[in-house]
Chains A and B, each alone.
Chain A
Amino acid sequence: MAEDAVAQRGVGVLALDFFSNFIFAFSEAIRPDNLLFCFLGVVIGTLVGVLPGLGPVATISILLPTTFTIKPEQSLIMLAGIYYGAQYGGSTTSILLNLPGEAASVITCVDGYQMARQGRAGPALGIAAFGSCIAGTVSVVITMLIAPPLALFALQFGPPEYFSLMFLGLTVLTFLASGPMIRALMMACVGIFLGMIGTDVVSGLERFTYGSYTLMDGLGLVPVIMGLFGISEVLVNIEQTMKQEIYKTTLSHLFPSRQDWKDSIMAIVRGTFLGFFLGILPGGGAIISSFAAYAVEKKISRHPEKFGHGAIEGVAAPESANNSAAQGAFIPLLCLGIPSNVVMAILLGGLLIQGVKPGPLLMNDNPALFWGVIGSMYVGNLILLGLNLPLIGLWVQMLKVPYPILFPIILIVCIIGCYSLNYSLVEAAVMCLFGVVGYLLKKLEYEGAPLILAFVLSPMLENALRQSLIMSQGSFSIFFTRPISLIFILLAFMLLLSPVIPGFRKKPQISS
């Protein structure tokens, strides 16, 4: 049906749609209020990307409650800005300190820091910023091109397809987890359980509430996320003494030379496309994309021996890929209503709290939000380019804020943010409790990401499962007889069985 619709409309109409969407997206993005929140988002994002020990997940969790007082469109524009802004900012610490500001910049350390040691910190920072901007821009255009047909296609999805897709998303995330897959699956189970606490929407029965009024509405998304990612990160950091030393190098020649461009332009192009498509995949995201882009560059390079010793392609490719992926990840969220990674899961939770249900109909029901966010990404990329290059000196100064002064501020923001949601001290205490749980999980090498994704998806997953079984009169064959669902299920089972399939055992691993 959806393919017919696309075919009937023809390429010309789609092109016209593209330009009208393009203009609408930009008219929304440059509205003064949206522009302000976009600016705020990318500035905060760059800052958290620069500051080691405070990643985008923790920051978005911390700031989520404060965005409930503004319009959903502006809230999403700001939070999206934080996410892709952090990808930009993360490169600064990777290059100057050999310390990734956030996980997606880990691989940039390898060649970026070597370039800094050779006195080429300027071109490294420059190519990271330009590469990120180019990747961000291209990925916005691809998003505009593929989002409408994908949303049309997603209209074919019924409960079995949604269940299978969510199942696949959870499986991919557990497959890519940094620890053993079995532990990631355990965390997904815990997340599903936590998501079921509260009143059952079908029967109206209370589950696992034990008479608590706070639990009747279910465990709050914000306390759980802020605890698991915000508070626990602070607890892990204060346990270690963080000493950071900025490599003394000249920060001149931020504009890469002609040779630098020649060496890195194809790496940027490849990183952009690879990052974008890995960003769309359930369970994918900026981290895996940056590693994959680096691996591809090293593999196809005529001089692989230069990698690890200051190859500019080793900075250009992952930095382009992580930005591209950060923006590509919005496609499944906005078009299907399915988060592809933990940041998107948090954003989905935030949107649901504000009464916005992302999915195939979002484009029609709330065009200002859908196109406004996409347009703002392009504007945000330009702001970031303007921010990153001239203000690198300022960002370096920010690195000198001692963590013992920073962490109490983060803790207080977390508590105020959580309390301000429902003016509940119980929720603030729940957040602290989950902070301790998150700390223990990190220390015992259980990943929090599958838990959060499962926690957010749990109500949708349960509804889709129950509706599917009602549709099929209790037969699980419904997941295998519908083609789209069958493809998702087969992919998920391939990944689940991969540890026992010879030759498939070496999985790519990412760190949360």
Chain B
Amino acid sequence: MAAGDRRALRSLYLAYYPRLFRFVLRMTRDSGLAEEVVNDTMLMVWRGAAAFRGESRVSTWIIGIAYRRALKALAARKRRLPAVGFEREAVDGRESAPAVDPVAATVEVQDWIEHALDGLSPEHRLTLELAYFLGESCEEIALIADCPVGTVKTRLHHARIRLQRHLLEHATPHAAVSGGGTGNVTRRGST
């Protein structure tokens, strides 16, 4: 590809597009913007292929570009749109919490977690998504985000603390982290 081989780029694009698109889409929830970020990323890969020295894995390099493009896109969107945070969860306010249907509870906690993730800062959210969605190691995330390993640990620590705190504030008392692996977490006030 460094020699300008479009077929090589096409193979790379088709191989990475699904993963990068979903990675960015999870944070933007905007397919147009996600595709734009992926295309910007691949354009930079195309232009920078000759300069790539192989000091990291190709995937780390590509995801690192996508990480920076996604951060930039999120920052630009934040300037245009009002912030979406944890507060939107609190409006779902009915008092009683009836008996928990395990399947419904699992779906609901997934819904809760997804919304809670939206309340994280872009850096915290991206770090968590790199670890859990893309399954990157701590060291790889440090390379992707171009920051020290300690920063990765700190960001992830704060992201998890915030999610757990939100869970404790908005979930029923028997649920949350006291579930002992059962996964029965329900939102306070949910039906």
A joins B in a complex: no
